[in-house]
Amino acid sequence: MKKVINKNGKAVPTLLSLDTSSEACSVALQYQDQVTEEFETGIRHSEIILAMIEKIMVDNGLVVSQIDCIAFGRGPGMFTGLRIGAGVVQGIAFAADLPVLPISSLAILAQGQKSNKVMTALDARMNQVYWGLFEKDDQGIVQTCIDEQVISPADVQLPESSGWSGAGSGWDQYGDTLVRVTGTHLDNWQAEQYPCARHILPIANALYKSGNQVDATQAIPVYLRDNVAVKRSR
């Protein structure tokens, strides 16, 4: 597909993104330097994800073959949601011969926060959280500070500095414990924050520009609890 050139003279790829790693299900499209998104909460991902993709494509007058790449939240997160998302991405990518960008759901969550330093926690059940620390670089793109981990809220790894914000369902579920443990490192935390597809796009653009896209066989979930190695943190 012919690349759109933005006002800064840079090529803008057409990117489809989706995230099904949490209670929220979302799809976003970057096309002609504009972003549109479909977003819904509730555990109905398998029922709505394909319809959301179809709607966003039709609304923008596109077909899948016109996409340059598909980016998705590869986890950690809800096991069923991750399998649904990876399966949908693989199906579309194989059918249209498209590259993919698997991106950390914790990084996506951090990217969507106003703070430049974010302690992310997604509820992992079993009295554990998926935990990560992220800081935004000079371009406003999150960079990981530690390896992602699944851990008790009382044992999370802390940053060396102060001025951090917290976000994610782990904070909603275990906020009292996390506030106590993070202490003076924490400035505030935001309730009801989810990874969502539009926040994938800044990360995806940076990775796509650097040539980090992979083929559809690598559109696989990262669970952490099953000791799946984290190959890429963004």
* Residue corresponding to tokens 């991902």: 45
Name the average pLDDT for the chain: 93
184 shares its domain with 200 = no
Residue 137: inside a domain: yes
The percent of residues above 70 in pLDDT, for the chain, comes to 92
* β-bridge mates for residue 134, sequence order: 118, 144
Q: Which domain holds residue 139?
A: 107-190
Contact 70, 89 (CB under 8 A): yes
Q: What's the confidence (pLDDT) of residue 225?
A: 80
Choose one of 152, 173, 190: the last residue of a domain: 190
Residue 230: inside a domain: no
Helices (H), 37-187: 45-59, 79-96, 105-111, 169-182
32 shares its domain with 94 = yes
Choose one of 190, 207, 226: the last residue of a domain: 190
Residue 13: inside a domain: yes
Residue 202: inside a domain: yes
Q: What's the confidence (pLDDT) of residue 226?
A: 62
Residue 229: inside a domain: no
Residue 73: inside a domain: yes
- 110-140: per-residue pLDDT in tens? 999 999 999 999 999 999 999 999 999 999 9
Question: d(Cα 158, Cα 126) in Å, to the nearest integer?
Answer: 21
- 197-232: per-residue pLDDT in tens? 999 999 999 999 999 999 999 999 999 986 433 333
Contact 158, 145 (CB under 8 A): no
User: What CATH code is carried by the domain that includes residue 157?
Assistant: 3.30.420.40
Question: d(Cα 28, Cα 36) in Å, to the nearest integer?
Answer: 6
Question: d(Cα 164, Cα 35) in Å, to the nearest integer?
Answer: 28
Contact 135, 185 (CB under 8 A): no
pLDDT bin (cut points 50, 70, 90) of residue 4 is: low
Give the SS3 label for residue 157.
coil
Question: d(Cα 150, Cα 128) in Å, to the nearest integer?
Answer: 6
User: How many structural domains does the chain have?
Assistant: 2
pLDDT above 70 for 27: yes
40 shares its domain with 156 = no
Give the end-to-end CA distance of the chain in Å, rounded to a whole number: 26
Residue 224: inside a domain: no
Residue 156: inside a domain: yes
Q: What's the confidence (pLDDT) of residue 11?
A: 75
Amino acid at 32: Q
Helices (H), 28-168: 45-59, 79-96, 105-111
- 159-196: per-residue pLDDT in tens? 999 999 999 999 999 999 999 999 999 999 999 999 99
Q: What's the confidence (pLDDT) of residue 10?
A: 54
119 shares its domain with 132 = yes
Q: What's the confidence (pLDDT) of residue 234?
A: 44
pLDDT bin (cut points 50, 70, 90) of residue 12 is: confident
